[in-house]
């Protein structure tokens, strides 16, 4: 079977992949995946990869996790679909379980099929509830690719020259490594950046400076009343950027003073990915008005959700909101099993322990190589920012990034890339990895850096 697939692979790969489905491929030669199990993927030639990207932080408990697969199979034999104009037990069991993971007053749930759809819905809710239009996001963030959410997204790679983003504004991303302010003690991470804090000793001004930028957006770009602020607890596509302590807390206060609601985009950071908390926002001492989620919610099965308060739901409930596949019985059975499995497998604890272990290991590697500027993150949401040299902190150019990336893949590990300039390696594996996997990756990554340095310096 493998050799047949292998032949097929040789025959169609460029024709089909590049002409028929012109999708994104990170690699020079597309990796043709055949099968997955937990933290492992196999290609059509039978090569095994340690998957440290998890389909962009999506496979939460492991590829084809046996318990989740069994739950899916059971539901597939019983009921595939009705619409949610009826009641059916997988839906009702699931929303009960999901609501229990969130604090009061976040108790009303709308199910969608993707993160973009969830963020679209959240934008609409915020605008209807507040009667205001303008929305603020962080520069460098990604919140979706639909025409509405493309306006929230602040990364030109994902923008098209169409009339998008009416009423969407960006404030400076409070990036304490690449930004003008902040440094070693600004953020909440098991490890610190090597950049010394640029603030006077004992007096961290970074947060005030970045909040000052937000105030400038209020003064220059938006009317006095706004609809919402959208922010991820730790930036995902933007490169695992962590903000100074209190940045989100202070932002929420200012946004609410201007009539806006606060939206936490937990598409990547939810479901235990940050390790210390089940929801990323809980690590910031804040309470959002709306939380959006997708990716890890159903371990890779298409699903998303918006969770909000009864008050906001009441403003939204004046119209009819309908979504054919939202709350699909199979998706609900899978998502329900994901929550059970997370408890049984101790997924959040693994994320916390393995995340901290990887961050410690990566920070040692960072200290060895001039081209690693920063290692950051929490739990299994990790970023390694690559630079030309530590002093300039200029992004490592794409060709160099690609060389290290390809080499890492050739040695059997899949990681991701991100950041506005594609300068950050992203590590966000299925949350079932072991210490052996972490050690294997650290050895492979160290070797890839070594190979690059020997070839170019």
| Residues in touch with ligand PMP (CB under 6 A) | 56, 114-116, 119, 142-144, 232, 236-237, 265, 267-268, 294
Side-chain half-sphere of 329: how many Cα atoms within 13 Å?
A: 17
Nearest approach in angstroms of CB 232 to ligand PMP is: 5
Residues in the chain: 457
Q: How many CB atoms lie within 10 A of CB 411?
A: 17
190 vs 238, which CB is nearer to ligand PMP? 238
Residue holding tokens 């969608």?
A: 112
**Nearest approach, Cβ of residue 157 and ligand PMP (Å):** 12
CB of 54 to ligand PMP, least distance (A): 12
Cα angle 49, 51, 56; round to 5: 145
User: Minimum Å distance from CB 146 to ligand PMP?
Assistant: 7
The tokens 């909101």 sit on which residue? 321
Q: How far apart are CA 61 and CA 56, in angstroms?
A: 13
End-to-end CA distance of the chain: 45
Of 122, 180, 108, 114, residue with least CA distance to 152: 122
Minimum Å distance from CB 14 to ligand PMP? 25
> What whole-number distance in Å separates Cα of residue 204 and Cα of residue 183?
9
Q: Which residue is nearest to ligand PMP (CB)?
A: 115
Task: Between 55 and 361, name the residue whose CB sits nearer to ligand PMP.
Answer: 55
- C-beta closer to ligand PMP: residue 294 or 414: 294
Residue among 158 and 357 whose Cβ is closer to ligand PMP: 158
Closest separation in Å from C-beta 152 to ligand PMP: 9
The answer to whether the bond into 105 is cis (omega within 30° of 0) is yes
Q: Round to whole Å and give the CA distance between 36 and 384.
A: 26
Nearer to ligand PMP among residue 24 and residue 162 (C-beta): 24
Tell me how many degrees the CA angle 377-57-341 measures, rounded to the nearest 5.
105
Residue closer to ligand PMP, measured from CB, 235 or 448: 235
């Amino acid at each position: 079977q493998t050799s047949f697939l292998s032949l097929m692979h040789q025959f169609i790969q460029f024709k089909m992949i590049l002409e028929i489905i012109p999708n994104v491929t990170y690699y020079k030669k597309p990796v043709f995946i055949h099968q997955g199990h937990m933290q492992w993927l196999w290609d059509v030639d039978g090569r095994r990869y340690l998957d440290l990207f998890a389909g962009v932080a999506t496979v939460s408990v492991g590829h084809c996790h046996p318990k989740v697969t069994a739950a899916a199979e059971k539901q597939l034999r019983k009921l595939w679909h009705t619409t949610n104009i009826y009641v059916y037990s997988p839906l009702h069991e699931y929303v009960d379980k999901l609501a229990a993971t969130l604090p009061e007053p976040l108790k009303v749930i709308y199910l969608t099929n993707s993160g973009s759809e969830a963020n679209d819905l959240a934008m609409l809710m915020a605008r209807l509830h507040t009667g205001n239009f303008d929305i603020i996001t962080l520069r460098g963030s990604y919140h979706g690719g639909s025409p509405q959410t493309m306006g929230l997204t602040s990364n030109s790679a994902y923008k098209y020259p169409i009339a998008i983003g009416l009423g969407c504004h960006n404030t400076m991303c409070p990036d304490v490594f690449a930004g003008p302010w902040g440094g070693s003690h600004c953020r909440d991470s098991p490890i610190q950046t090597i950049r010394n804090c640029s603030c006077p000793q004992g007096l961290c001004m970074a947060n005030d400076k970045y909040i000052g930028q937000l105030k400038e957006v209020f003064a220059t770009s938006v009317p006095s009343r706004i609809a919402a602020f959208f922010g991820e607890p730790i930036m995902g596509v933007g490169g695992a950027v962590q903000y100074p302590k209190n940045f989100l807390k202070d932002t929420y206060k200012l946004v609410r003073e201007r009539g806006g609601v606060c939206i936490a985009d937990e598409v990547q950071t939810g479901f235990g990915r940050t390790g210390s908390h089940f929801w990323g926002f809980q690590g910031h001492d804040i309470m959002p008005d709306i939380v959006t989620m997708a990716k890890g919610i159903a371990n890779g099965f298409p699903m998303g959700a918006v969770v909000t308060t009864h008050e906001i739901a009441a403003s939204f409930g004046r119209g009819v909101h309908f979504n054919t596949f939202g709350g699909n019985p199979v998706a609900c059975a899978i998502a329900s099993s994901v929550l059970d499995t997370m408890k049984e497998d101790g997924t959040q604890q693994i994320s916390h322990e393995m995340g901290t272990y990887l961050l410690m290991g990566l920070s040692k590697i960072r200290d060895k190589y001039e081209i690693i500027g920063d290692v950051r993150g929490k739990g299994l949401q990790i970023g390694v920012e690559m630079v030309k040299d530590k002093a300039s902190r200029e992004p490592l150019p794409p060709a160099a990034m690609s060389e290290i990336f390809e080499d890492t893949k050739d040695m059997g590990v899949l990681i991701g890339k991100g950041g506005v300039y594609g300068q950050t390696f992203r590590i966000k594996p299925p949350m079932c990895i072991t210490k052996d996997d972490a050690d294997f990756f650290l050895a492979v990554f160290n070797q890839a850096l070594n190979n690059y340095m020997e070839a170019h310096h």
